Amino acid sequence: MDLELTAKRDGKEFTISLKGEVNTLTGPKLKELIEAELPDTDILVLDFEGCDFVSSAGLRILVNAFKVLKKRGGQMKLINIGNNFREVLNITGLDTVFGIT
């Protein structure tokens, strides 16, 4: 499955809505968008409402973005995550790292 990304900026807050799967093949698309926008972003919001699957490659992208933001005093929020992804975050301990709503 492919990955569709919809982006919206509101000042220093940047929101990405994901639809599809984040995996080894689709992850670079997300990574490129995040890396392009991070310099102007204090709050990165990732909306997973339409996302069916996040692989370890996707988790790596999220962790790297989080590290960059945290170093600058920024934050990352994950919203509308499904039960399967929530379980992965719980197992990896990332549920205590990322802001999840």
Domain ranges of the chain: 3-100
Q: Are strands 99-100 and 3-10 parallel, antiparallel or unpaired?
A: unpaired
At 75 the three-state DSSP class reads: strand
* CA-based R_g, the chain, Å: 12
> Is residue 8 predicted with pLDDT exceeding 90?
yes
The string of pLDDT tens digits covering residues 79-100 is 999 999 999 999 999 999 998 9
Distance CA 19, CA 2 (A): 8
Answer yes or no: CATH 2.40.50.100 is held by domain 3-100.
Answer: no
pLDDT band of 21, cuts 50, 70, 90? very high
CB-based contacts of 68, cutoff 8 Å, min separation 6: 38, 74
Is pTM beyond 0.75? Reply is yes
Distance CA 20, CA 86 (A): 16
